[in-house]
């Protein structure tokens, strides 16, 4: 009788383990650190802010754009809405991301909302060096498996490999993470031929309302010799945004 009960218990434990989520069963220290990075990227319930974009051509010529940004936690991927305020040629254009498979772009000249197809999410966002996926996606752990490459007292270097290679233009990411606040200092993006393509740096990180926040970001496209700088201003956290603030109807609003 005791042997039968013991065998039953073993079967029960084995069945429980088999039903555990795969990430819990196989996550290593690299994946655990990547989850901390993901959590640090959206620590508050929601946030708003103003953004200045500077597009820098290979000849040094600059184009400046101003935007309004809103973001809200909604796991697994946060809601994010960007609206261009100036110059006139892009004023009113708005981008809404609800997940890496649900993104929308509103073009006021046509008065239409266009859903970004999955095949187009790796295209450049409004002439910048960020893709639609770069701008909209905040869920690293859903898309990448991470391993620790090196570590010292200041930073940890992670290598991120796509879980679904066919859906991503990057063959891997190399992320240098600050050990103090888990904000990446640098992310290197490699193309499908394993060659370094783009480099993103968080040039300035500030503590605002108790949250570590990147306020100056640069993305460089090494192939095009082109760069995009983003400066965040007037950032406010936990302002009480809701799902209604991230509806397709809101995309058409001018304010």
Residue 27 is predicted with a pLDDT of 53
Residue 254 is predicted with a pLDDT of 57
Half-sphere exposure of 88 (CA within 13 A, CB side): 0
What CA–CA distance (Å, rounded) separates 255 from 245?
12
Write out pLDDT tens, residues 62-81.
999 999 999 998 877 789 99
Residue ranges covered by each domain of the chain = 28-251
Query: Considering the domain 28-251, what is its CATH architecture?
Result: Clam (2.50)
Is 13's pLDDT higher than 50?
Answer: no
Write out pLDDT tens, residues 146-157.
999 999 999 999
Q: What does the block give as tokens for 17?
A: 């383990």
CB 172 within 8 A of CB 194: yes
Q: How confident is the model at residue 17 (pLDDT cuts 50, 70, 90)?
A: very low
Task: Please name the residue that has the structure tokens 């006139």.
Answer: 88
């Amino acid at each position: 009788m005791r042997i039968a009960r013991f065998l039953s218990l073993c079967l029960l434990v084995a069945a429980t383990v088999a039903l555990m989520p795969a990430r819990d069963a196989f996550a290593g220290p690299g994946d655990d650190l990547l989850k901390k990075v993901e959590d640090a990227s959206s620590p508050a319930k929601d946030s708003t802010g103003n953004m200045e974009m500077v597009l820098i051509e290979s000849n040094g010529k600059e184009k400046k754009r101003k935007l309004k940004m809103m973001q809200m936690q909604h796991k697994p991927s946060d809601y994010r809405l960007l609206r261009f305020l100036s110059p006139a040629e892009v004023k009113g254009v708005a981008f809404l991301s609800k997940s890496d498979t649900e993104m929308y772009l509103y073009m006021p000249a046509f008065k239409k909302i266009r859903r970004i197809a999955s095949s187009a999410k790796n295209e450049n966002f409004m002439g910048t060096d960020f893709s639609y996926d770069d701008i909209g996606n905040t869920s690293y752990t859903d898309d990448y498996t991470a391993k620790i490459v090196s570590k010292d007292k200041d930073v940890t270097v992670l290598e991120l490999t796509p879980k679904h290679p066919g859906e991503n233009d990057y063959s891997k990411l190399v992320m240098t993470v600050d050990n103090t606040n888990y904000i990446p200092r640098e992310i290197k993006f490699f193309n499908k031929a394993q060659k370094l393509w783009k480099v993103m740096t968080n040039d300035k990180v500030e503590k605002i309302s108790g949250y570590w926040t990147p306020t100056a970001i640069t993305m460089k496209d090494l192939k095009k010799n082109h760069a995009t700088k983003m400066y965040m201003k007037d950032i406010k956290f936990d302002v009480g945004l809701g799902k209604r603030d991230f509806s397709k109807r809101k995309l058409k609003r001018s304010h």
